[in-house]
A = this chain, B = another copy of it.
């Protein structure tokens, strides 16, 4: 037996929690709300999860680790810095369209992590930003990018795509391909026509 029924239930609870946390915030979601969503009494959920905080940790660190491993792959690829950056932006967008609630929670609710988890999470994020900044810096030195402040470029890129996690639904009348292309056009070519 590879995956126990208990684990499946547990994952279901965490998935529903992600949806609720995205919708109403971590603080705004009670364990009783979550219990109702999964069709259990609140007390019963504690057979599958240890605490509310553990759920949030699961979501946040799962996403954080995904981001880190994607960045590592790109760092090791042989492409121009411009291509690397574009590929990374695509991966970010893709993750938002496939794991919307989880990404949303990791991006917006991490402040509610317990103190120890919070420290660890901020450290992970800081490392990620440093490595990404290095990529931008290298690209600028290679003459591939405009001369703009690295931090500004870093945060503008990361921030510019954040709306996707809130906006994207399968029925928006736009494919993920179009979505990615439009965003990449604005960020790398600029909105203004030359």
Q: Is the CB of A156 within 8 A of B187?
A: yes
Is A66 part of the binding interface, using a Cβ–Cβ cutoff of 8 Å?
no
- From A11-19, A45-53, A147-155, the one touching the partner chain is A147-155
Contact with B along A6-26 (1 / 0, CB 8 A): 000000000000000000110
How distant is the Cα of A186 from the Cα of B85 in the complex, in angstroms? 14
Residues of B near A189 (CB, < 8 A) are 146, 190, 192
Task: List, in ascending order, chain B residues with CB within 8 A of A112's CB.
Answer: 25, 28
**Residue-wise interface mask of A (87-126) relative to B, using a CB-CB cutoff of 8 A (1 in contact, 0 not):** 0000000000000000000001001100000000000000
B190 touches A187 (CB 8 A): yes
A152-B183, A161-B156 known; A191 vs B191 contact (CB < 8 Å) = no
A170 contacts which chain B residues (CB < 8 A)?
none
Chain B residues closer than 8 Å to A148, beta-carbon distance: 182, 185-186, 191
Tell me whether chain A's interface is mostly helix, strand or loop, or mixed.
helix
Q: Are B174 and A149 in contact (CB under 8 A)?
A: yes
Q: Find residues 145-179 in chain A having any chain B CB closer than 8 Å to their own CB.
A: 145-146, 148-149, 151-153, 155-164, 167, 174, 178-179
Task: Tell me, in angstroms, the Cα distance from A159 to B188 when the chains sit together.
Answer: 16
A162 cross-chain contacts in B, Cβ below 8 A: 159, 162
A145 to B25, CA, bound (A): 37
Chain B's closest residue to A181 (CB) is B148
In the bound complex, what is the Cα–Cα distance between A161 and B148 (angstroms)?
15
